């Protein structure tokens, strides 16, 4: 992507710790969470903890997913009046079709329902990307192609998901993936809606968060397999993103990830970096916003990017060159190289 980097120029978030991007990012900065007892009970007879989005009505299921996505998209549109929805593709990131308890049974109909909820119609190049955590990286790849090959000026990337449905919680509990009174090696479920505005870097002569590189990989020893973990998939994704960005791992200042509490993914990240890192450093900080918002599924990538953008804008990041990486339970891995820089008008 080094020959056609992308600028992240707008964000919108709806999470359990904030109903807009500013509030959510402030909570993440302060390490504030909203973990509370849900209406679901674990096998030990204790209430499952979760991070629910407190909206104005007690919506559930597909209706709540629509409301969260629409709120996040509207935040982006409100903050950038130059966006013309009908001329702007919307890349909608959703959970994988294989995810247990998935409440969306027809992706295309859900997209149409979202347009009706917003009262808008998006560009014909819009599409749904049901890829879970790695969906945002796939969406950035599609956005690059759209902006590079057409006259499109903006691309909207949005995501919505919820883990707070019983079939999903039950599946993860039975597989000892959920944090419960009987299992300490698990995640806290959450939900969120999120959105990004993506433009070519020459679009605005100001400080911008730039996506310079993308990489993808597949881990054979995924979390549900019984093969020995070597972190081949994540290591490959990171190497590809560094090559795409034209930089080395030593050029990066810190990283941000989708880690949400499970030991498997922390071990994988440690193994991957031990195989790539060739420079001894005193610190290579790792941020994981899921500590505050919970395991939110497909929106986590956008939450990560929004948190990065806010940190850079408000001068509390650990540096200007950042690595982000994400992974799905089925072994798919993605890596993104970001930089915070000033772009001069051309």
Q: What is the pLDDT of residues 108-131, one digit of tens each?
A: 999 999 999 999 999 999 999 999
State how far the Cα of 213 lies from the Cα of 191, in Å rounded to an integer: 28
State how far the Cα of 283 lies from the Cα of 187, in Å rounded to an integer: 26
Angle at CA of residue 90, ends 85 and 91, nearest 5°? 170
State how far the Cα of 8 lies from the Cα of 21, in Å rounded to an integer: 14
Given pLDDT bands bounded at 50, 70 and 90, which one contains residue 283? confident
State how far the Cα of 1 lies from the Cα of 300, in Å rounded to an integer: 22
Q: What is the mean pLDDT of residues 131-149?
A: 97
210-264 pLDDT, tens per residue?
A: 999 999 999 999 998 889 999 999 999 999 999 999 999 999 999 999 999 999 9
Q: Is the dihedral of CA 299, 208, 152, 242 positive or negative?
A: negative
- Asked if residues 330 and 96 have their Cβ atoms less than 8 Å apart, the reply is yes
Angle at CA of residue 218, ends 142 and 284, nearest 5°? 85
Helices 263-276 and 232-245 sit at what angle, rounded to 10 degrees?
A: 50
Report pLDDT for 191. Answer: 98
Q: 13: burial class by Cβ within 10 Å (0-12, 13-18, 19+)?
A: buried
CATH of segment(s) 207-342:
3.40.47.10
Half-sphere exposure in the Cβ direction for 53 (13 Å, CA): 34
**Does position 344 have pLDDT exceeding 70, yes or no?**
no
State how far the Cα of 155 lies from the Cα of 142, in Å rounded to an integer: 9
| Percent of the chain as helix, strand, coil, to the nearest 5 | 35, 25, 40
Report pLDDT for 342. Answer: 63
**3-state secondary structure at position 128:** strand
Distance in Å from the first CA to the final CA of the chain: 19
**Does position 203 have pLDDT exceeding 70, yes or no?**
no
Q: What is the mean pLDDT of residues 128-137?
A: 98
Given pLDDT bands bounded at 50, 70 and 90, which one contains residue 278? confident
Given pLDDT bands bounded at 50, 70 and 90, which one contains residue 1? very low
- Asked if residues 152 and 88 have their Cβ atoms less than 8 Å apart, the reply is yes
CA dihedral (81, 82, 86, 89) in degrees, to 10, reads -110
State how far the Cα of 51 lies from the Cα of 24, in Å rounded to an integer: 13
List all residues 6 or more positions away from 145 whose beta carbon is below 8 Å from its beta carbon: none
CATH of segment(s) 6-203:
3.40.47.10
Q: Which of 155, 40, 31 is nearest to 87 (CA)?
A: 155
Given pLDDT bands bounded at 50, 70 and 90, which one contains residue 202? confident
Number of helices (H) and strands (E) in the chain: give both, helices first: 9, 12
Question: Which helix (H) or strand (E) segment is 203 a member of?
Answer: none
Can you give 58-116 as a three-state secondary structure string?
CCCHHHHHHHHHHHHHHHHHHHCCCCCHHHCCEEEECCCCCCCCCCCCCHHHHHHHHHH
Mean pLDDT of all residues in the chain?
94
Report pLDDT for 277. Answer: 83
State how far the Cα of 304 lies from the Cα of 311, in Å rounded to an integer: 11
Report pLDDT for 346. Answer: 44
Report pLDDT for 312. Answer: 96
**Does position 345 have pLDDT exceeding 90, yes or no?**
no
The full set of domain ranges for the chain reads: 6-203, 207-342
- Asked if residues 290 and 260 have their Cβ atoms less than 8 Å apart, the reply is yes
**Does position 204 have pLDDT exceeding 70, yes or no?**
no
Q: Is the dihedral of CA 322, 91, 196, 67 positive or negative?
A: negative
**Does position 71 have pLDDT exceeding 80, yes or no?**
yes
Report pLDDT for 323. Answer: 97
Higher per-residue pLDDT: 202 or 255: 255
């Amino acid at each position: 992507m080094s020959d056609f980097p992308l600028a992240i120029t707008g964000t919108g978030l709806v999470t359990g710790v904030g109903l807009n991007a500013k509030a959510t990012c402030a909570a993440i900065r302060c390490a504030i969470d909203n973990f509370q007892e849900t209406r679901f009970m674990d096998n030990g007879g204790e209430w499952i903890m979760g991070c629910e989005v407190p909206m104005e009505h007690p919506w559930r299921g597909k209706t709540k997913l629509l409301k969260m996505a629409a709120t996040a998209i509207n935040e982006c549109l409100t903050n950038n009046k130059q966006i013309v929805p009908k001329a702007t593709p919307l890349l909608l990131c959703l959970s994988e079709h294989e995810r247990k308890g998935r409440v969306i049974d027809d992706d295309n109909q859900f997209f149409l329902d979202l347009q009706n909820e917003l009262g808008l119609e998006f560009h014909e190049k819009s599409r749904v990307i049901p890829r879970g955590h790695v969906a945002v990286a796939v969406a950035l790849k599609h956005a690059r192609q759209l902006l590079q090959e057409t006259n499109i000026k903006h691309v909207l990337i949005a995501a919505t998901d919820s883990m707070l449905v019983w079939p999903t919680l039950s599946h993860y509990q039975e597989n000892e993936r959920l944090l419960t009174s009987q299992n300490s090696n698990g995640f806290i479920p959450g939900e969120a809606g999120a959105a990004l505005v993506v433009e070519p870097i020459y679009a605005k002569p100001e400080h911008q968060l730039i996506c310079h590189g993308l990489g993808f990989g597949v881990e054979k020893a995924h979390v549900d397999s019984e093969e020995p973990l070597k972190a081949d998939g994540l290591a490959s994704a990171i190497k590809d993103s560094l090559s795409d960005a034209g930089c080395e791992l030593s050029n990066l200042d810190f990283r941000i990830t989708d880690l949400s509490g499970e030991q498997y993914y922390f071990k994988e990240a440690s193994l991957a970096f031990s195989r790539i890192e060739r420079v001894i450093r005193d610190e290579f900080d790792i941020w994981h916003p899921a500590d505050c918002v919970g395991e939110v599924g497909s929106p986590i990538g956008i939450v990560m990017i929004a948190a990065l953008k806010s940190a850079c804008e408000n001068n509390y990041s650990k540096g200007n060159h950042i690595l982000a990486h994400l992974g799905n339970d089925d072994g798919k891995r993605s890596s993104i190289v970001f930089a915070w820089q000033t772009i001069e008008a051309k």
